[in-house]
A and B are shown apart, each in its own frame.
Chain A
């Protein structure tokens, strides 16, 4: 399992396949793209970027209640 990237949402970490898009990973993880934004190295990125080997993508949940 070398060719992976990590997706982090709140306290959850997911190992996903590198080389495909964030969107493909989100679909696999059943995370709605509408409910999050994606951050790579502190920068906001769109879901069509390709996951690089070994990188960490942080998801920021956008739903707030109340």
Chain B
């Protein structure tokens, strides 16, 4: 297969764009596209301070790498969750993240569940009813809380995550299967700042997962290849496989599913609810973050019960 730009040997075929690219052109194209979508969706400007949530996985490291190449001021945040379960998942991903940051002289914040809160994710998940069969929901809660905390404490304007198109399409698929209206209304590559929470952006939302894997490989970025042990067999992985089957038969199915959802929303095809589905927010007396409950937030309650 030939590169669409220079006629050289293509290393990747992006059937949804009907385009194969060689190494050099792909490594130029991806950051250029990222820049284009950062501007189009007004994600952030070069003057703003960006905090990138890095997990040691391919997407977040690739995102941090590109923001750096594009000249943005982006620091990293790694949250050490203490998920080891026999494969040293967390310690290995932390090592790779630190190596990445050191090699490029980038600034990395590390939150450590063990030393900061005296617990770890597997323990938390076992202790809470919501987490017992679903560590991911406790994990999501912890990550959101800690990202917001670091962003606020260190004065970041915007929080960037490495969600790619496959992640977004799988989430959309899940929310659609359940007609999760409040999530559908809110699912967007940019969430404006509100109630003292930083703006949240997903600069990779247009790229397929395999493009991100290709980028990290071509850039020689070492990332954690093993999946989180709790992700194995998860519904989001199942949805990704189903969407990939569709994509295989109909190239572009995934990107259309998501981008047509965004344009339908823009045209007002998803109306704001007539009854209030978003609860009023209060400030958690312990951590100061907005919460829907009257008392301490779920995160602080979870931490009170655990550890310390």
A residues contacting B by CB (< 8 A) are 32-37, 39, 43-48, 60-66
**CA–CA, A60 to B209, complex, Å?**
12
**Once the chains bind, are B248 and A60 in contact (CB under 8 Å)?**
no
**CA–CA, A44 to B133, complex, Å?**
39
Residues of B within 8 A of A37 (CB): 12, 210, 213-214, 217
**CA–CA, A39 to B12, complex, Å?**
11
B241 within 8 A of A: yes
Residues of A within 8 A of B213 (CB): 37, 60, 62
**Once the chains bind, are B248 and A64 in contact (CB under 8 Å)?**
no
Residues of A within 8 A of B13 (CB): 46-48
Distance in angstroms from A8 CB to nearest chain B CB is 13
Residues of B within 8 A of A46 (CB): 1, 10-13, 20
**Once the chains bind, are A64 and B245 in contact (CB under 8 Å)?**
no
B: number of interface residues (CB 8 Å): 37
**CA–CA, A65 to B235, complex, Å?**
9
**Once the chains bind, are B247 and A34 in contact (CB under 8 Å)?**
yes
Q: Name 16 A/B residue pairs within 8 A (Cβ), A-sorted.
A: A32-B245, A34-B244, A35-B241, A35-B244, A44-B23, A45-B11, A46-B1, A46-B11, A60-B225, A62-B209, A63-B209, A65-B234, A65-B240, A66-B139, A66-B230, A66-B234
B231 within 8 A of A: yes
**CA–CA, A66 to B227, complex, Å?**
8
Residues of A within 8 A of B128 (CB): none
**CA–CA, A65 to B23, complex, Å?**
27
Residues of B within 8 A of A63 (CB): 166, 209, 237, 240-241, 244
Distance in angstroms from B171 CB to nearest chain A CB is 12
**Once the chains bind, are A66 and B228 in contact (CB under 8 Å)?**
yes
